[in-house]
Amino acid sequence: MPQNLPNLLTGLRIVAIPLMVVCYYLPQPISTVGAAVVFIVAAVTDWFDGWVARRMGQTSQFGAFLDPVADKLLVTVALILLMHRMDNIFITLAGMVVIGREIVISALREWMAQLGKRASVAVSGIAKVKTGVQMTAIPILIWYPSWPAVGEIRLLGLFLLALAVFLT
């Protein structure tokens, strides 16, 4: 593994996933706040590691491989936690669509790489918007039981998750 700051941040994002899970199962309100904060910090490192890699010329093939894996793991685990806690058909279907898309895209990228056409499945602008919307919706939905204006916050999170599913 090439040792540089972007790869370190990506690795820390992967290590943060079990911490998010542990926080999620602590007593309320610590659980929702802690898990959401861990998710938010991890999501910010996703943006930051890419920025640092490009700005400091520290891009690597390993980083290009590991970064999307870390994102997929973070989002998948968070959606599974939400499906468990919320026990809601919309959340379950949205989680299935997002997780299913991640699996299909990963498989497609692997297949295209074997054919020597990895660039054919490069990340699109819509995918970046989808990721941003998704990374905003998930912590809102994780955190919402601790917020006083639960209804409005929850609706915002659900709307953003629906938008992410649509963009998926």
In this predicted structure, the answer to whether residue 150 has a pLDDT above a threshold of 90 is: no
What per-residue confidence (pLDDT) applies to 151? 63
What per-residue confidence (pLDDT) applies to 168? 81
What per-residue confidence (pLDDT) applies to 119? 60
In this predicted structure, the answer to whether residue 146 has a pLDDT above a threshold of 80 is: no
In this predicted structure, the answer to whether residue 26 has a pLDDT above a threshold of 90 is: yes
Q: For the chain, how big is the Rg over CA atoms in Å?
A: 16
What per-residue confidence (pLDDT) applies to 18? 97
**Is the Cβ–Cβ distance between 89 and 43 less than 8 Å?**
no
User: Which one, of 142, 115, 17, 130, lies nearest residue 73 by Cα?
Assistant: 17
Q: What is the pLDDT of residues 46-85, one digit of tens each?
A: 888 888 888 888 888 888 888 889 999 999 999 999 999 8
Tokens 């999307």 correspond to: 68
Task: Calculate helix-pair angle for 150-167, 89-114, nearest 10 degrees.
Answer: 30
Q: What percent of the chain has pLDDT over 70?
A: 90
Confidence of residue 141 (pLDDT cuts 50, 70, 90): very high
Beta strands in the chain (DSSP E): none
